[in-house]
Chain A
Amino acid sequence: MADHVEISHLSKVFPTPKGPLRVVKDFNLRIRQGEFVTLIGHSGCGKSTVLSILAGLSEASAGGIVLAGRELTGPGPDRGVVFQSPNLLPWMTALENVMLGVDQVFYTASREERRQIAEYYLTVVGLGEALHQRPSELSQGMRQRVGIARAFALSPKMLLLDEPFGMLDSLTRFELQQVLLDLWNRTRLTALMVTHDVDEALFLSDRIVMMTNGPEAEVGEILHVPFPRPRRRQELLENPEYYRLREQLIEFLHVRAYTLKGQTPKGPSSTAPVLRAASSVAVAA
């Protein structure tokens, strides 16, 4: 059976004052229907670049993407996108922000049905009481909940999430990871999410794709996360396997992200994501 998403030989070249810069080179990845995949790698390696090509917001310099048997050309509501900042339209209420997409996708449904779809997803993410509030009246975390509801409400063929919890404090991040996981358990949408956080990746995904450093970043290694679903954070943290996988991820980021590209691992700067990840475990435990 063909995979749901096929990313083949994807490359992206940016023109820079110093000449063309090949940020991503020969990026290959296949994702099965209903699979949750995270993309992890050092800052600046090209994760967002890959994601925005998938979203159709940026064009590939070479290579192509096939989604559900069709070659992708340009953006479309068949992919639900959640950005790092939720990108809500400030003049619309939470409900109107979600309706904007729902109206577009379910244009054959009646207005009442469309409204019910939007209300359903907002309620599931815990905003049933805040339907008519504007983004300025919502906390950062609540705004990102709207962002998540907006993406899921499209019933897209694929979800694309670019560090959706990157700007949140760690407690809110845990809450929202749970919200995302709950919603995903109900819908099982094929998802590709970018993150810096190894614990987040282990908690959410079926597979973790580790990207090498750039320029010419590519897929380094892929880690299968074998924990059964539905998952509970507490159970994972009590599982020795969790720490073995975590070690493997950190080892990659620390060493092989560099050595695979013939670079020498850096000292202090390369430990930054590791430290961040370690501190979030402490909070969780």
Chain B
Amino acid sequence: MKKIHWDAVLMPLVGIALTLLAWQMISGRIVTRSLADGTVEEVKLGWVQDLPGPVQTWEKTRKYVVEPFAKREELDQGILRFTWYSLVIVAKGYAIALILGTPLGFLLGLSSTFSKMFDPIIQVLRPVSPLAWMPLGVVLFANAGKSANELAALFTIAVCAMWPTVLNTAVGVRAIPQDYLNVARVLKLSRTQTLLKIMIPATLPYMFTGYRLSLGIAWLVIVAVEMLTGRIGIGNFLWNEYNNGLYTSIVLCIVTIGLVGFALDRAMSLLERRFKSIL
């Protein structure tokens, strides 16, 4: 029988418990006390007085969790329903990022001229925050009518998430062993065949590293995009609840966003490992 590694199960639980404890300690709580004159006074105590504690958070947000797909009102839906809206738009933006980023990476990797021309621009654009791209997206698609909002969001996600795919693909193309290319030369494979049978398979592991990192960024960007566009989704839910002073929901959103991001990363790294094992 396989030995169970208690450490692997236990230690994360201890970590979670300690984190909850720390959260509890810094969070605020409301205490009522009766004054001498018989009136009752509410006092906020704690280090961060407005931060709800773990128990309070659970009590106030459980309706979003126990009915994760419920739709009560436009702004009052289950947490996974909100997440789903966000995932759909992220998937679209991510797809655009890959469709644009992969060939761009190939061009950079294949042509040193192209690389010299555009690498500096890429290095400058890469660290720009989604908050900076978003208004540009709105301006670019201002005339698109009803879909202007969605296009601006997709633009922002794609343009932020694209770079790891571009750069990793370029690195992968440059790293194709000369030996493999010599096989193509000796056999006189056509350009298309060399690309399909040699270059793309040889670059796949690098591409998937890029794809995984890009997905991480695409998901990271969603909150900013929804805050600015007001599209319904988990980021928008977070922002609305903050504006309404319902701080418990913020914590719920953060945890959900984190878990979803973690799951996406795991799924991608499984795929990535599959392709790496071939080489």
Contact = CB atoms under 8 A, between A and B. Distances in A.
Interface of A: 55-57, 75-77, 79, 81, 83, 85, 87, 89-91, 100-101, 104, 134, 136
Contacts of A81: 186
Nearest to A86: B179
Nearest to A57: B182
B163 to A, nearest CB: 27
A81 B197 CA distance: 19
A246 to B, nearest CB: 33
A77 B201 contact: no
Given A89-B201, A100-B197, A57 B186 contact: yes
A89 B188 contact: no
B1 interface: no
Interface string B213-239: 000000000000000000000000000
Contact of B186 (A75, A89, A91, A136): A75
B187 A101 contact: yes
Contacts of A79: 186
B136 interface: no
A81 B185 CA distance: 11
Interface string B179-204: 11011011111000000011001101
Given A57-B182, A57-B185, A100-B187, 17 more contacts: A56-B185, A57-B186, A75-B185, A77-B186, A79-B186, A83-B179, A85-B179, A87-B179, A87-B182, A89-B180, A89-B197, A89-B201, A89-B202, A91-B202, A91-B279, A100-B197, A134-B278
B154 to A, nearest CB: 33
Range of interface residues on chain B? 10 to 19
Interface of B: 179-180, 182-183, 185-189, 197-198, 201-202, 204, 278-279
**Interface pairs A-B: 8 shortest CB-CB:** A91-B201, A87-B179, A75-B185, A104-B187, A75-B186, A91-B278, A101-B187, A77-B187
Contacts of B197: 89, 100
Nearest to A83: B179
B187 A89 contact: no
20 contacts: A55-B186, A56-B186, A75-B186, A75-B188, A76-B186, A77-B187, A79-B186, A83-B179, A87-B179, A87-B183, A89-B183, A89-B202, A90-B278, A91-B201, A91-B202, A91-B278, A91-B279, A100-B197, A101-B187, A104-B189
B48 to A, nearest CB: 54
A104 B188 contact: yes
A76 B279 CA distance: 26
Nearest to B279: A90
Contacts of A136: 278
B190 to A, nearest CB: 9
Contacts of B278: 90-91, 134, 136
A101 B188 CA distance: 9
A206 B179 CA distance: 30
Contacts of B185: 56-57, 75
A76 B188 contact: yes
Nearest to A90: B279
A203 to B, nearest CB: 26
Given A83-B179, A134-B278, A89 B198 contact: yes
A90 B182 CA distance: 15
A136 B278 CA distance: 8
B192 to A, nearest CB: 13
User: Which of B180, B186, B189, B198 is the most central at the interface, judged by chain A CB atoms within 10 Å of its CB?
Assistant: B186
A238 to B, nearest CB: 40
A65 to B, nearest CB: 15
Given A87-B182, A87-B183, A91-B201, A77 B188 contact: yes
A103 to B, nearest CB: 9
